[in-house]
Structure 1
Amino acid sequence: MNKAITYSMGAFVAICAFVPAISGCIPRPPGGGGAGAGAGAGTNLDSPDAKLCPADGVLDDGEDNNNQLAVSKGRGGYWYTFADKGGSTVTPQAGALGGTFSMSPGGANGSQSSARMNGKLGGSGTIFAGMGFNFVDPKAPFDVSQYKGISFWAKRGENSTGHVRIKLPDANTDPEGKVCTECFNDFGMDIELTTTWTQYVVLFSAAQQQAGWGQPRPDGIESAKMFGIQWQVNTTGADYDIYVDDIQFTGCP
């Protein structure tokens, strides 16, 4: 099933500067294992928190070639894209403009398809573009506190920026949680993608908000009330071409 999703960033007026890479975002190159390299170096990828969950912990592997998550344990939300209104472009076209997300050919580990967004970011002002999904439809907070984090595979195109922020909207940072007065500073992490498919593990306990803005600023993510996952680019004037595949929870009980 394919469904058009409209997503709005609302009154997003804060500075979107990236913070340095945070320990807990663990890149694992193809065939890699043991301790992570680069960001999160020294974190044991074989630890219980980073261990992949069984099949019912898979969020999406793209192989059904539709824009809905794998339907499991009450989940079944849909993919969407979004972009600022100041000149940034995004493909697939955002639902607010009448578009519907679709998977693209080719994926990690020899799979047939993956989630992909591409376009060009604006040259000034508050610029952003991204793709993501909600855990459930209609959009609502969802309890993922039984898990410790997420794993996914990602890469960039040849002429694309590789600077991506993983965002984990929750009830304190998403306006639909009806808590935030300065919204969208979601807990998350920054990564640098390469042109090679690489596995990343993002632990909820290590996710942080960006410095200098956002209200409220709680101590940590509220994983019992999360809305979904987003991959966002913010590099002024940059071309971007970002692929994501095999998204799965880690650290099952």
Structure 2
Amino acid sequence: MKNRIFLHGLNLALCGLAVAAFVACGDDGGEGSGGAGGGSGSTTSGSVSSTTTTTGTTDPTTTTTTSSSSAASTSATTGTGGGPQSIELIDDMEDNDNAILAEGGRVGYWYTFNDETAGATQNPPPDPEGTGETPFTMTELAPARGQSTTAARSWGSGFETWGAGFGFDLNSPEGTKAAYDASTYTGITFWAKVGAGSVKSATVMISDPGTDTAGTVCTTECDKWQKTLALTEEWQQFTIPFAELKQGGWGTPAGTEQIDATQLYSIQFQVGVAPEFDLYIDDLGFYN
């Protein structure tokens, strides 16, 4: 088992986004990315299949889950307002390693990134040298969210330029980041919350050839497709169509009106400048 996390501190920023009293503003660039051997840690995870029924958009206490060794997919209803009819899990976090689920041709590994403000702290910490000494690990939930017992989490304080975040590449075997075709899906869905004392806003970001250095459009100011979320200390499910994602408006234009879902590179979550942050993400998947 390889356990390596790699930070490329290039081209990640946000500007002009605000939710409530929070504003995330970007610098000239700073981008996190990772992959086995040349990115984040490399750990093999098995396939998981689950079927989940939820009864609202807050933390479910009556969630029923069954598992098998087939493809990771979930049927869900989210109560008033509707929601995803089918979900293919990218990661349910329950295997407690730093790899996303090995399903649908996806190979990726969780990593953290930040603006490198002197004296600031982030956990799990970035591992710029890729030594594997501090691989990304999942956080045990107390209390559990229904039958979910662990989640992806990053927390810290003191970042003063554009903030910090965490995420993964969708297709990075042996350290080479490649595009992943997600065009058969409508968007992404996940559960999220913040810890006590945390800033109550975060931005989900997805990159494609026009918004990632792996493409041919941007080199230093890659302005990812994104959506800013208002969060609370209670779990909420977010269902975000690809069509709702917009660039932040601060960097290189992608050259397209919408994200190119046939060629996705990474999914990341970022908090902006704030005294404290503590962000949890759970049961992340593509949906239709």
TM-score by length of 1: 0.82
* Greater RCO, CA 8 A, separation 6+: 1
1:153-172 correspondence to structure 2 within 5 Å? 153-172=191-210
C-alpha displacement of 1:211: 2.5
| Separation in structure 1 between the aligned mates of residue 227 and residue 265 of structure 2, nearest angstrom | 16
Q: Which has the higher helix share?
A: 1
Contact 2:110 2:136 in 1 (8 A): yes
Contact 2:11 2:222 in 1 (8 A): no
| Separation in structure 2 between the aligned mates of residue 59 and residue 140 of structure 1, nearest angstrom | 16
1:3 alignment partner AA:
N
Correspondence for 1:52: 86
Contact 2:89 2:283 in 1 (8 A): yes
Correspondence for 1:229: 267
C-alpha displacement of 1:2: 5.8
Correspondence for 2:138: 103
Contact 1:157 1:242 in 2 (8 A): yes
C-alpha displacement of 1:127: 2.0
| Separation in structure 1 between the aligned mates of residue 2 and residue 219 of structure 2, nearest angstrom | 33
| Separation in structure 1 between the aligned mates of residue 19 and residue 278 of structure 2, nearest angstrom | 22
Gaps of 5+ in 2: 21-55, 61-77
Correspondence for 2:8: 8
Task: Deviation per CA, 1:172-209: give whole Å up to 9, x if none.
Answer: 11111132145331101000111011111111011111
Correspondence for 2:226: 188
C-alpha displacement of 1:7: 2.6
1:100 alignment partner AA:
P
| Separation in structure 2 between the aligned mates of residue 81 and residue 172 of structure 1, nearest angstrom | 22
Query: Pick from 124, 131, 146: which aligns with 2:166?
Result: 131
Contact 2:59 2:145 in 1 (8 A): no
| Separation in structure 1 between the aligned mates of residue 218 and residue 254 of structure 2, nearest angstrom | 6
Contact 2:199 2:274 in 1 (8 A): no
Seen in structure 2, the aligned counterparts of structure 1 residues 203 and 101 have a Cα distance that, compared at 3 Å, is: same
Tell me the SS of whatever aligns to 2:121. coil
Seen in structure 2, the aligned counterparts of structure 1 residues 71 and 128 have a Cα distance that, compared at 3 Å, is: same
Tell me the SS of whatever aligns to 1:131. strand
C-alpha displacement of 1:112: 1.7
Report the identity percentage: 31
C-alpha displacement of 1:228: 2.1
The worse-fitting range, judged by mean Cα deviation, of 85-94 and 127-136 is 85-94
Correspondence for 1:66: 97
1:13-92 correspondence to structure 2 within 5 Å? 16-19=15-18, 28-30=57-59, 33-35=79-81, 45-46=82-83, 50-53=84-87, 57-87=88-118, 88-92=120-124
Tell me the SS of whatever aligns to 1:223. coil
Correspondence for 1:238: 275
Seen in structure 2, the aligned counterparts of structure 1 residues 29 and 228 have a Cα distance that, compared at 3 Å, is: same
- Is 1:94 matched with 2:123? no
Contact 1:170 1:223 in 2 (8 A): yes
Structure 1 vs Structure 2 CA RMSD: 2.2
TM-score by length of 2: 0.72
Which contiguous aligned blocks of 4+ residues in structure 1 show a shift greater than 4 angstroms?
A: none
| Separation in structure 1 between the aligned mates of residue 15 and residue 8 of structure 2, nearest angstrom | 16
Tell me the SS of whatever aligns to 1:190. strand
Tell me the SS of whatever aligns to 1:205. helix
Q: Which has the higher strand share?
A: 2
2:85 alignment partner AA:
K
Tell me the SS of whatever aligns to 2:228. strand
